[in-house]
Amino acid sequence: MKGLKIYCIEFMCDIETVHKALNSLPFIIFMYFGLVMAIILGIKRREWAWGNNEWESVEHFNRVQKKWSFWDVLFIISTAIVGILAAIAIPAYQDYVQERFELIHN
């Protein structure tokens, strides 16, 4: 009987893992769509912007595109910095919470 209980616990863990994966499927699809759109926009951005026909001249178009490119790069760098800081801070905070929990309950 003891072996059956262990098997059931392991089986429940597997079901929970599958359930979590299925619940995160919309998020995974959203992230994939975002990646695909970023690539498409990176390739077609200038062509679509030029087709908009709201430019005073070619120089005006190039000036605006340079500004967009600057802010794109700045956004990517800042996102990477926040991601790196989060990758460092979140595990450190989890360790801190675990230590405080053990300290309080022991």
pLDDT band at 14 (very low <50, low <70, confident <90, very high): low
Between the alpha carbon of residue 92 and those of residues 31, 73, 96, the distances in Å are 26, 29, 6
In angstroms, rounded to a whole number, what is the distance separating the alpha carbons of residues 12 and 16? 6
Q: For 57, phi and psi rounded to 5 degrees?
A: -160, 175
Query: How does pLDDT run across 66-83, given as a tens digit for each residue?
Result: 998 899 889 989 999 999
pLDDT band at 16 (very low <50, low <70, confident <90, very high): low
State the pTM of this model.
0.54
| pLDDT of the residue at 21 | 64
Residue whose structure tokens are 């072996």: 3
Average pLDDT on 30-51 reads 84
